């Protein structure tokens, strides 16, 4: 259909500037250009997940060429191998699970536009784009939006894309995004092969400095566990402040309620887990009351009282586990869990 011309017609240079739209109308817009065969317009109220190429695919060897031989050799390598399909990286299974949730949502709500929208966000050069496109298509990934910034940090584009969550293999970029107020994490693949559920997205969160602020963790680190327990008992009825991943849990909860509304609670393709080192008896009530005050549900809460998280996560088999402390990330990774480090809070000071 031919596009309607704006009325009245005016020379481009004489048109008055378009006033900025209110924030509510800027939330998400449909793609208004030609629709590629087999794809749909971008959802209006999408939950945007920005994923770097090195998180989505295994590009360890490619990175080594870049670091040892330089940019020109790297681009030459990518052009020569553009028909060689990249193997999956740490975010791959998570992205596939997001797509399954989208498919289920479309079955129940054919006209609804509140879906996951995945953007490939990378500082790779456009010359690498063909290999990325070939790999995305090979695996049937529904990723229509690419942002290739040619060596420039992509972080400045995250807000323009209205990003809800940014996943990267580059810890410096993740730190930069966190400082910009964007939920972000550095992804690591598990050291062992593990099978994952194909019909349910499973997301596991640590509590302090991930879902919640690091307020209580600061007391534990600086004054010891006794003071921490006293503090949590004293402020049991005061909600914790929000942490960097609270918004993403809200997004998941909002989608879960769509399934509940269709009497699909037991078949919901999203399941959330709280996996925390807190003790239930001494400091668990404040966490649960905080979630209740926020109006959020968590499907399973596991209070480990300082025990290692790795063995529990092997049982859960989450597509992604968020934690702020590298000690827990490393332990879970060794046993095969896909992990995501959130560089936020006092835990970074102690390098744990």
Task: Cite the active site residues.
Answer: 206
Q: Please, which residues have CB within 8 angstroms of residue 201's CB and are 6 or more apart in sequence?
A: 94, 97, 98, 100, 101, 269, 270, 271, 319
Element holding 122 (H helix, E strand): strand 116-122
Which residue, 84, 86, 64, 65, is CA-closest to 76? 65
Task: Show the CA angle centred on residue 235, arms to residues 233 and 238, nearest 5°.
Answer: 140
Sequence-distant (6+) residues with CB within 8 A of 220 are: 227, 228
∠ Cα 23 293 184 (to 5°): 50
Strands 201-205 and 145-148: unpaired
In a 3-state reduction of DSSP, which class is residue 235?
Answer: coil
Helical H segments across the chain, by residue range: 53-56, 60-69, 71-80, 92-108, 129-138, 155-158, 171-179, 215-223, 225-234, 246-260, 285-294, 310-316, 326-334
- 3-state DSSP call for residue 254? helix
Residue 49's DSSP bridge partners are 118, 165
């Amino acid at each position: 259909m031919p596009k309607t011309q704006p009325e009245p017609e005016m020379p481009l240079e004489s048109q008055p500037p378009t006033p900025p739209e209110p924030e509510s109308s800027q939330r998400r817009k449909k793609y208004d250009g030609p629709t590629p065969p087999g794809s749909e317009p971008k959802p209006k109220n999408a939950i945007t997940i920005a994923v770097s190429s090195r998180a989505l695919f295994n590009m360890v060897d490619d990175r080594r060429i870049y670091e040892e031989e330089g940019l020109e050799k790297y681009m030459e390598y990518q052009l020569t191998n553009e028909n060689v399909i990249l193997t999956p990286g740490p975010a791959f299974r998570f992205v596939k699970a997001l797509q399954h949730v989208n498919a289920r949502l479309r079955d129940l709500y054919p006209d609804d536009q509140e879906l996951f929208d995945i953007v490939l966000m990378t500082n790779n050069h456009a010359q690498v784009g063909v290999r990325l496109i070939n790999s995305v298509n090979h695996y049937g990934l529904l990723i229509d939006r690419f942002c290739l910034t040619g060596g420039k940090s992509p972080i400045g584009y995250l807000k323009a894309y209205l990003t809800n969550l940014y996943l990267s293999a580059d810890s410096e970029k993740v730190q930069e995004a966190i400082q910009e107020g964007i939920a972000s994490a550095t992804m690591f693949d598990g050291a062992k092969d593990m099978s994952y559920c194909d019909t349910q997205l499973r997301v596991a969160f640590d509590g302090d400095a991930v879902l919640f602020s690091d307020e209580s963790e600061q007391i534990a680190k600086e004054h010891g566990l006794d003071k921490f327990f006293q503090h949590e008992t004293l402020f049991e009825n005061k909600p914790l402040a929000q942490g960097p991943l609270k918004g993403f849990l809200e997004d998941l909860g909002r989608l879960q309620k769509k399934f509940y509304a269709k009497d699909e609670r037991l078949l919901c393709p999203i399941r959330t887990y709280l996996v925390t080192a807190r003790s239930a008896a001494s400091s668990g009530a404040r966490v649960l009351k905080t979630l209740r005050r926020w109006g959020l549900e968590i499907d399973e809460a596991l209070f480990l009282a300082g025990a290692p998280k790795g063995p529990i996560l092997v049982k859960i088999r989450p597509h992604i586990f968020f934690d702020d402390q590298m000690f827990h990330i490393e332990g879970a990774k060794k046993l095969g869990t896909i992990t995501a480090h959130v560089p936020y809070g006092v835990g970074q000071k102690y390098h744990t």
